[in-house]
Structure 1
């Protein structure tokens, strides 16, 4: 399963250009609780778009940091994108043990969101500015300090 995921990520990433800082990507997904998430509806807030997987140790490590950061700021929201070929029930079970305050959607690694594409590695986090442009892309783990510094630099 992991080799299939790696092949899908490699193939999908090769077909998608890197996001420019001025890009205003679209993202419409259905969260695991059945609600619609539309990135455009989040305008006016900083949005953390976080690609992760249940088997990714750095992803698991950063989830509480992202959750705490979102809880501490009224001007920030987040969406977690579970990027793996796993049963939805398994992802939900994982989230029972690793609770977060932001919604989670599961993506098919063979069909990543057009404007974001497949991540180069996991975790990958995009920080979207209140006007909708990509302010920063992080490949690797993030924490509240990195996120806060990026927001301060983008104001």
Structure 2
């Protein structure tokens, strides 16, 4: 039967012409992290704009149930702690209107940055899981990553526990 050779040929062809997935990078760094991304609603934000504060970078997507669950606590954290800034990194290949419709259901208090899923920002690259939350210290070093759902309490425990570096 000729079906198997055809399937094998088709799979080989797909492997050759399919684009490579984005690189997955390590999260903790020895040097300050900086990249700039467009902000939903206009403008651009760079991580270096927030030096002197703790920065909580949260990769999320509209289809991700745990991401949805985190939004209220991350919004409270962003509002109630002057020493912490939360940035939501929308990691999804969809249009602006889809994000706006989704966010109309949620009271998000922090900036939403738009990530090109085919060229995610370095040094983080594509997240290993969604949600992924990365904590940068006031000097801009990435010092902690939470893979999967995280609570406000876990972030505050880490920051208030005297975390200063990797």
TM-score, structure 1 as length reference: 0.88
CA RMSD of aligned residues (A): 1.7
Matched with 2:102 is 94
> What is the CA distance between 1:142 and its match in structure 2?
1.2
Matched with 2:136 is 128
> What is the CA distance between 1:21 and its match in structure 2?
3.9
Counterparts of residues 55-70 of structure 1 (less than 5 Å): 55-70=63-78
TM-score, structure 2 as length reference: 0.82
**Structure 2: where are the runs of 5+ without partners?**
1-17
Q: Deviations over 1:91-139 (max 9, x none)?
A: 1110010121101022121110122200001000111100110121111
Which of the residues 25, 29, 32 maps onto 2:37?
Answer: 29
Asked if structure 1 preserves the Cα contact closer than 8 Å seen for 2:28 and 2:144, the reply is no
Larger radius of gyration: 2
Asked if structure 2 preserves the Cα contact closer than 8 Å seen for 1:45 and 1:75, the reply is yes
**How many residues were matched structurally?**
146
- In the alignment, does 2:40 pair up with 1:39? no
The runs of 4+ residues in structure 1 deviating greater than 4 Å are none
> What is the CA distance between 1:82 and its match in structure 2?
0.7
Asked if structure 2 preserves the Cα contact closer than 8 Å seen for 1:25 and 1:116, the reply is no
